[in-house]
Structure 1
Amino acid sequence: MSRLVLNFLLFLSISATATYAQTAKRKLTDRDDLYGWEAVGRLDIGDQGFCTGTLIAQDLVLTAAHCAVDKASGKPYEPGKVTFRAGLSHGEALADRKVVQIAVNPDYVSNARLSPDTVRADVALMRLEQPIPYSIANPFALHKGRVAGTEVSLASYGRGRSQAITRERSCRILGRQQGLITFNCDITFGSSGSALLARNGPRWQILSVVSAIGTYGGRVAGYGMELSGIVAELKADLRRDAPRPQATIRRLQVGSDKSNSGAKFISSGGG
């Protein structure tokens, strides 16, 4: 564990207050700036604060579990409590959607002492009330295969930059051990749940989710988890627990579209 003795400081949750030295970043403040990053959005948690989330499908947002669970009850937030605001910039979002269903990593324990185990389990998936069309936001794919080099990128909202996505074009992976990914990106309050992105060909893909801040080799660093198969498991949980549509049956009167006894038949060809 030597360099991986994680002297964690805090979760980067809605109550966090830590930050560290700024690096070269760019705020995405207009439509041209946002091109390719529309799938990053701010997750507003009622009037309690916010995190960052990223679309991985038209109606699915990937984020941190501690952004999805009510600390008081230890349960996922109720439907409608969280709003995903895709590409939010100075009060205007490309799309606003309520979160209607949440699946949390079953290994995540709310209010547990911060540790490597807590970070490894800090993943959640949220289903939106309605899909966001591809014409508005193109979801990010999960990274597959080996990462070429150590360069990663981060796009998130945060304290002092909550009104527009701030993209850190280039930061570095410092280590990958025991299911954890350590990186030197500039993260702060609100960055929780944002996607750590690694390039795969021409497009950035999601490598991890920002969970916590701690120390590594005597320096402040960010921590995320190896996603492995957990996202697929969370998708399966959402499908299994999705509300079942209620079937309705009408009996129609012959020669009428009014509900009654009997049946109505329509000849082939619509005649």
Structure 2
Amino acid sequence: MIWRALILAVATLAYAGSATAQNTGLRRLTDRDDLFGWEAVGRLELNRQGFCTGTLIAPDLVLTAAHCVYDRNNTLRPAEQISFRAGLRDGIAIAERQALQIAAHPGFTPGGRLDVENIRHDVALIRLAEPILSGEADAFALHSGRDYGSDISVTSYGMGRAEALSRQRQCNLMGEFRDVLMIDCNVTFGSSGAPVLSQVGGRGRILALVSGGGAYQGRQVAFGMKLPERVAELKAQLRRNPVAPPDRRIKRIRVGGGASAGGAKFVRVGE
């Protein structure tokens, strides 16, 4: 049975930070034409402690995996430690924004084992300090309904391919149980939070996020979750705990006003 296959695979999986999969079917989005339409997928920078993949679902909202927004002590990261680089390619991003607010699903247990319950709640929303306009990156919509279509794809960053997005145009849905999907998409370090897309009704819609991966019957597989209910809960969480955006008004600073006037500071690499 499909649900039994999924549970057996979960017994050997790990978060996508340490998941692996076969290196086949991936295409690097190398030039600007390749990237067209994928600008809303970007790299989440985690205070120089690694990165994940995130996707715009609104001009100021980035969707990613919950385990990406916790630090090594399983504490929610301060928003200022996270930035989003939309469409990053070889050091150049379409747009870069600082995180302002983070909502991780309360059903996710940081540091807990990657079981079905944690996978289905491994979702977080990040509100950006400034929106990214649709002319720069067109946000993706979420998939809804039971018709997933036959074309499922994943677009992500990852270890060995951190400097540009890679896209796997075709992977297969192998199982489903309690809002958790098992797919044979190619994932690795850094693929956490990457969008799994269903090509139903025109432009792809986000069906799931990459949470973790493991092995089933000698094949490497990835796991994600159904999103509409989880994302609605996270949006409500953001509304209940609003954070004011920074004041972007230009301030005049007198020449010779002293070193405390807010001038630029330089740090050494690695600090």
TM-score by length of 1: 0.85
Partner of 2:11: 7
Higher helix share: 2
Partner of 1:49: 50
Partners of 2:245 and 2:56 in 1: CA distance: 25
Q: CA deviation at 1:215?
A: 2.5
Partners of 1:76 and 1:150 in 2: CA distance: 37
Partners of 2:148 and 2:208 in 1: CA distance: 15
Partner of 2:69: 68
Partner of 1:171: 171
Q: CA deviation at 1:143?
A: 0.5
Partners of 2:59 and 2:224 in 1: CA distance: 24
SS at match of 1:203: coil
Distance 1:87 1:174, change over 3 A: same
Partner of 1:99: 99
Partner of 1:134: 134
Q: Decide whether the 8 Å contact of 2:84 with 2:97 is kept in 1.
A: yes
Q: CA deviation at 1:50?
A: 0.3
**Alignment length (residue pairs):** 242
What letter corresponds to residue 63 of structure 1 in structure 2? Answer: T
What letter corresponds to residue 5 of structure 2 in structure 1? Answer: R
Q: Decide whether the 8 Å contact of 1:52 with 1:190 is kept in 2.
A: yes
- Aligned-residue identity in percent: 48
Deviates more, 1:228-237 or 1:53-62: 228-237
* Deviation sequence 1:159-206 (CA, Å, 0-9, x none): 010000001111111111222100001110000001110012111000
- Greater C-alpha Rg: 1
SS at match of 1:80: helix
Partner of 1:198: 198
Q: CA deviation at 1:79?
A: 1.9
Structure 2 unaligned residues grouped into runs of 5+: 247-271
* Deviation sequence 1:34-64 (CA, Å, 0-9, x none): 1110000000101100000000000000000
Q: 2:25 matched to 1:21?
A: no
SS at match of 1:109: coil
Partners of 2:174 and 2:150 in 1: CA distance: 8
Partner of 1:212: 212
Q: Decide whether the 8 Å contact of 1:124 with 1:234 is kept in 2.
A: yes
Q: CA deviation at 1:75?
A: 3.1
What letter corresponds to residue 86 of structure 2 in structure 1? Answer: A
* Deviation sequence 1:71-127 (CA, Å, 0-9, x none): 31x332102101100000000000010111100111111111221111111000000
Distance 1:8 1:121, change over 3 A: farther
SS at match of 2:119: helix
* Deviation sequence 1:188-228 (CA, Å, 0-9, x none): 00000011100121110000010000233442200011224
SS at match of 2:114: coil
* Deviation sequence 1:221-242 (CA, Å, 0-9, x none): 0001122411011011111111
Partner of 1:125: 125
Q: Decide whether the 8 Å contact of 1:38 with 1:138 is kept in 2.
A: yes
Partners of 1:151 and 1:245 in 2: CA distance: 39
Partner of 2:81: 81
Partners of 1:144 and 1:215 in 2: CA distance: 28
Q: CA deviation at 1:2?
A: 2.9
Partners of 1:190 and 1:66 in 2: CA distance: 12
CA-atom RMSD in angstroms: 1.6
Partner of 2:236: 236
Structure 1 unaligned residues grouped into runs of 5+: 247-271
TM-score by length of 2: 0.85
Partner of 1:187: 187
What letter corresponds to residue 36 of structure 1 in structure 2? Answer: G
What letter corresponds to residue 9 of structure 1 in structure 2? Answer: L
Q: 2:42 matched to 1:38?
A: no
Deviates more, 1:131-140 or 1:220-229: 220-229
Partners of 1:245 and 1:36 in 2: CA distance: 28
